[in-house]
Amino acid sequence: MTTTEERPAGTLVGTGRIKCVVWDLDNTVWDGVLLEGDALRLRPQVVSIIKTLDERGILHSIASRNNHEAALRQLETFGIAEYFLHPQVSWNVKSTAIATIAERLNIGIDSLAFVDDQIFELEEVAFRLPEVLCINADDAAMMLDSPDFSPRFITDESSRRRQMYRSGIGREEAEQSFTGDNDAFLSTLDMVLTIGPAQEQDLARAEELTIRTHQLNATGVTYSYAELDHCRTADDHLLLVAGLEDRFGSYGKIGLALVYTAGDAWRLKLLLMSCRVMSRGVGAVLLDEIVRLAQARGKSLEAEFAETSRNRVMYVTYRFAGFREVGRDGGTAILRADPDLQRRPPEYLRIRREGLWL
């Protein structure tokens, strides 16, 4: 097991720390300058890079100083507009555009790479956002062989990631146009949370979740495929996966919990949720289900929480679910569930329990 905080940026060999590549347009995605009336030519090598990374589950966006409508129209003409999420085409500085993209995608700044042909633009971003990996357009092909762009596993979910984010954009638009409180909006989504023991086919995605999830990882610990497989089959562990879907489509596998089941109290060693479901309240629901499962086996439930620079929200999730701190093991807080607190799932969410469950 490895703590993500111990790994310096750029050294995640074969784990793909980059989640999104942000592209300039003029003389980067295409040859020529749009507003100068040049005869534009799409760069075939760039298109090949975009499609290959897309299949690996790496997203794409745009930060370009250009006319917004003309640029998007040109992308449609070239037949590649569908690959770019939350494109930022304006006269703002590139660092502002990239920060906006990270916020819209709900991913860390250090998960982005930026490709541009202008040294000035690359240096501006590097100065204001030093966590971003800046790449000269002439060197774009290096991404295909770089460990930063090479996840250990390419899962079915990887190839569908862009579409899942596009479904998310539909949800956001529906939420923005909805008049009413948050619970009322969530009740329109017809959400179904599926929880069950991990199967062998879930392990690649489970490892990916531990590597890619930072904000909603309760311990900041990653697990390898082999470690997860051992826990999945061990008599003294329970490895659970959670998936979410709604009327817009599937979010995919979005949650993971690892429980050590020996002793009088079960110990929740790992709890993480994808950032894509941060606002859906499913973290507390998953915790409630694990508490009930432990109680059905005559056990109490404890949990480990190790604060990192980015996961404080998980401590809030535990507290909201009725956990309180009862001790510490070095830098790890030991939390215990209130055995008398019985909470009902929110009315806007249905739970589908699979396999060995209540």
Residue ranges per structural domain of the chain: 17-149, 182-353
Q: What pLDDT score was predicted for residue 299? A: 93
The residues near 24 (Cβ < 8 Å, ≥ 6 apart) are: 62, 63, 64, 94, 114, 115, 116, 117, 118, 121, 137
Cα-based distances in Å from 196 to 208, 222, 319: 18, 20, 24
- Confidence (pTM): 0.74
Phi, psi of 48 (to 5 degrees): -65, -40
What distance in Å separates the CA atoms of residue 315 and residue 293, rounded to the nearest whole number?
Answer: 21
Q: Which residues does the chain have with pLDDT short of 50?
A: 1-13
Give residue 2's pLDDT.
Answer: 40
Helices (H) and strands (E) in the chain, counts: 11, 17
Residue 14, pLDDT score: 56
- Per CATH, domain 182-353 is 3.40.630.30: yes
Q: HSE of 123 in the Cβ direction (CA atoms, 13 Å)?
A: 3
The correct answer on CATH 3.40.50.2300 for the domain covering 17-149 is: no
- Please report, to the nearest 10 degrees, the dihedral formed by the alpha carbons of residues 67, 68, 70, 76 taken in order: 150
Per-residue pLDDT, 6? 39
d(CA 256, CA 210): 8
Question: Which tokens sit at 355?
Answer: 């396999």
Alpha carbon distance 316, 338 (integer Å): 15
**Angstrom distance (rounded) from CA 115 to CA 109:** 15
pLDDT at residue 357, rounded to an integer:
55
Q: What is the pLDDT of residue 11?
A: 33
